[in-house]
Every structure is written in structure tokens, then in C-alpha cells.
Structure 1
Amino acid sequence: MRHRSVCDLMTPTAISVQRETTFKEIARLLDEFGVTAVPVVDENGCAVGVVSEADLLRRRGSGSGTNAAADLMSHPAITAAPEWSAVRAARVMEKYKVKRLPVVDSGGQLIGVLSRSDLLQLFLRRDHAIQEEILEDVLALTLRLSPSSLTVEVADGLVTLSGTVSRHSLVPIVLRLCRSVDGVVDVINRLDYEQDDLPVDERTDTQRQKTA
């Protein structure tokens, strides 16, 4: 299975400004391109900070005379690497309470921007594509299970699994792999098993996940 990375989801032609870019020019760019923040880069194209609408409004409201990106920006820039998973990027956004992440290469140079709306594209994936990946990649190729023994239903990204697997220990593995598929919102477990090979404590955890 190949999951889409930050590189797949980001906007590669990122708008950026220099340290000396003025307040007025930054405001114009935000309005022209319909974005809420813009990365600030140095003379080598490396991301050094970010100026957001909030930064502009906060500085404007403070009455400060500063007018250049170097004084307006939040720094250091909270960045993402192109090889990051979407989950990792989302966690960084949540941790630092930011809506956009400049994406930089190994040398720190700006190569794109990832926004929350870019991450949401994962959950706009068609149900049929999700179902197909689970049947073919997760069940058949990865787990070597017969897709005919299981039923996979997908509605608005919600996956319902039913049918019978050979061993109880396979159930949490199937659930974990299905939840990792791009576009899956959650998984409802209605799986049965032929042989109960789990320790007692793990059986309880698995039963809690099962929806009747």
C-alpha cells in the first residue's frame, strides 16, 4: 500500500516573501491568492518564518511602526518535510495551532506549502476507491486473505467489515491496516473468527471494538 505523503498533497508553487517585504505588499498577496499565511524566505530560498493574517492584525492593532516581514513574521518557521505522512503533518499543525506548513527540502529550501484544506482532500476520496484498496491491497496482497470470505462496505469514508477470518489475532491487524487507508474516517468491526488464539486481556480489547 502506498499512502500519500506531504509531497503528494502540498501546493508545490508556494507564494513566499522576503524579509524586507512590506506590510502592505503581504496583505495584497494574501488577498490576491486567497491564502491566510505566507512563508518568509531568506536570500537562499530557505524558510525562516511565516506571516499570517493574525500577525498582520495583531501588529496593526498594537500601533507598532514595524512594517517589514522580518518584524511581522512568526519564527522560526514550523515546517514539514516532503516525505512526511499526512498524519504526522496533521499532528504538527494541531500541536502548534497552525493552519499551514511550509514544506522544505533537506537543505531547508521552500518547495511548497501544505494547508489544512490539502489534508482534507484525503477524506474526499471516493468510497469505491477505498473499498478497492482494502479488498485488493490490504486483504489480498498484504494479509493474503480471500476477499470472498469478507464483506467490505464503504459509505462516506466509514468502512464496515463483516465475515470470518481464520484466527482472532487477525482481527486487530485487519482493523489497523484498514484504518490506515487514505480516506477512511473510521472502521466498524463486525468480523468473526474460527479460532480464538488471543490472550484473555486482548480478547476483551478486541470485543470492545466490535459493533454488533
Structure 2
Amino acid sequence: MTSLRARDLMTADVVTVPPATPVLAIARLLAERGISAVPVVDADGAVAGIVTEADLIRRLAGEDDKPAGWLASMFANPARDAERYARTHGITAKDVMTEGVVSVDPDTLASVIAHLMEEKGIRRVLVTQDGRLKGLVSRADLLRALVAPAPEAGDLSDDRIRRAVLAAMKKEPWADTFYALVDVKDAVVEFHGFSRSAAVQRGLRVLAENVPGVKGVVDNTQPMPTYLFAAA
């Protein structure tokens, strides 16, 4: 999955609507197509925003808004309240849509997209190029890529695998290459020596499992003696 990019993951045939589309028509579209969001595209083909289920629910909830009390009115923010009113009472896509759309270009790595979704707390990102919509990557798309069969790594030699494991360890501050020794036999990685903790042992196992060509991991490390802790 690490080498996959937005262009490999995205759904290219994305349903879109123009800004003037009625809210009720959008709700019907989401229900009929079984989708949770629809990008809003203007007449020039540029992305103007996106209408999600959350936007429609906010619109529905806004119908039950009650007038603010006199005390709350004293601290009201007119601009903010006017914007909220428009979004919760609007009748077209341009009124209720989320304008701050998170987008990526087609060459964005899957790992970067995953970080964006986690950081922003969103379920999808749009794939755009020169402001034009190319596709959409959802959480489901990322999950499908995660569980897809890994491409065959070929017959990598044990020496190449060992060097790849050591290179990966050197990138991680917690992976001590001085006390933990690496051996590879028939594509099975064996760790020898000492480890600082069970957490480090687990981390080394996962690190090795992610190296292309590795068929198994054997942990033969021992808890680090006290005198080595003091010297480390």
C-alpha cells in the first residue's frame, strides 16, 4: 500500500451536482445511489464544495432552531449566526455545502491521504488537478488497498532482505542495531541479542514483516541485562 497513489485508489466516476441543485434532490440522490457525499462543481468544471450527509443533517436540524434568549443575544456574532442560518435553512447546494474541501493531486501517496483523513477527521478527499475534479478517495478505498494482496516481491536474496531490515531499523530511534542482531534464512528474519522491552520486540517484528520478501519473523532476543542498561 505504501507505493499506491491517489490515482490508483480513487473512484473516477464521481457523481456531481451544480451549485443550484435543490437540497431535496441531493438527499434523494444520496439515498438512491447509496453514497454519503456529492461534490459541487460549477459551470466551468471547477470544484466549488461538497455536500455530505452531515451537511444535510445539519440542514434538517436547523429547522428546529429556536430563537436565542435575550442573554445569548447580547453575546451573538451576527456574521457567524447569519452564516449558520444560511447553511441550516438554505434550499440549494451552494447554501448548505462545505466550501473548505480537502483535496489532493493524483500523485499523492496513500499514506499521506490516510494522515489527512485522520488529522482532519474526514471520510473522503477529492482528487483534483488544476482545480478540476479527477476522482474521490474514501476511507473504504484505503481499506480495500490495505487488504488487497501484496504484489509478488520476487526471489529476493536473504542478504538483500537483511540489508533492507537493517536500513529500516536505522530509521527508527527505538530500534537498537547495536544490541539487536539480524539474520535471514530462507526469507525468515531472525533477531538475536538483547532488546530493551517487549514493546521493542513487537516493534521489530512489525518492522520486519513490512519489509518486502519477508516470509516470517523469529524473535530470539533476550531481555537486556541491567549492566547493559546502565551502559546504554
TM range (shorter): 0.5 to 0.7
Asked whether 1:35 is paired with 2:35, we answer yes
Shift of 1:21: 1.0
Distance 1:92 1:180, change over 3 A: farther
Q: 1:2 to 1:53 in 2, by over 3 A?
A: closer
TM-score for both structures, normalised by structure 2: 0.60
What SS class does the counterpart of residue 118 from structure 2 fall into? helix
Residue 172 of structure 2 is matched in structure 1 by: none
- How many angstroms apart in 2 are the aligned matches of 1:137 and 1:80? 37
Aligned to 1:108: 131
2: distance between equivalents of 1:191 and 1:150? Answer: 14
* Pairing 1:128-207 to 2, within 5 Å after superposition: 129=150, 132-133=152-153, 136=156, 140=160, 143=163, 149-152=184-187, 161-162=189-190, 179=210, 190=219
Superposition deviation, residue 140 in structure 1? 4.3
The residue aligned with 2:44 is 44
User: 2:117 is aligned with what amino acid?
Assistant: M
Give the percent of matched residue pairs that are identical in Structure 1 and Structure 2: 29
TM-score (norm 1): 0.65
Q: Does structure 1 conserve the Cα–Cα contact (< 8 Å) formed by 2:161 and 2:211?
A: no
Q: Look up the equivalent residue of 2:34 and give its one-letter code.
A: G
Alignment RMSD, CA only? 3.9
Paired position in structure 2 for 1:17: 17
| One-letter code aligned to 1:133 | A
Could you tell me which residue of structure 2 aligns to residue 196 of structure 1?
none
Alignment partner for residue 121 of structure 1, among 144, 151, 155?
144
Cα offsets for 1:40-98 (capped at 9, x unmatched): 11222122211111100111110243111111111121112110111100111111111
Whose radius of gyration is greater, 1 or 2? 2
Contact 1:16 1:38 in 2 (8 A): yes
Partner secondary structure for residue 43 of structure 1: coil
Deviations 1:144-166 (A, max 9, x none): 89xx943557xxxxxxx4378xx
Structure 1 consecutive aligned stretches of length 4 or more whose deviation exceeds 2 Å: 132-145, 148-153, 161-164, 172-181, 187-192
Q: 1:96 to 1:144 in 2, by over 3 A?
A: closer
Note if contact 2:208-2:217 (Cα within 8 Å) is conserved in structure 1.
no
Point out the more displaced range, 45-54 or 6-15. 45-54
Paired amino acid for 2:219: R
The answer to whether the 8 Å contact 1:151/1:162 transfers is no
Q: Does 1:96 pair with 2:139? A: no
Q: Distance in 2 between matches of 1:180 and 1:30?
A: 41
Over 3 Å counting, the alpha-carbon distance change for 1:4 and 1:55 in structure 2 is: same
Change (3 A) 1:25 1:122: same
Question: Contact 2:41–2:48 (CA<8 Å) still a contact in 1?
Answer: yes
* Corresponding residue pairs, total: 172
1:87 aligns with 2:98: no
How big is the shift at 1:23?
0.6
CA-to-partner distance for each residue in 1:91-148, whole Å, 9 max, x for gaps?
111111110111101x11001010000000122123xx46x42864997499589xx9
Structure 1 pair 46–152 and aligned structure 2 pair: CA distance change class (3 A): farther
Gaps spanning 5+ residues in structure 1: where? 154-160, 165-171, 182-186, 193-199, 205-212
Residue in 2 that maps onto 1:6: 6
Q: What secondary structure sits across from 1:17 in the alignment? A: coil
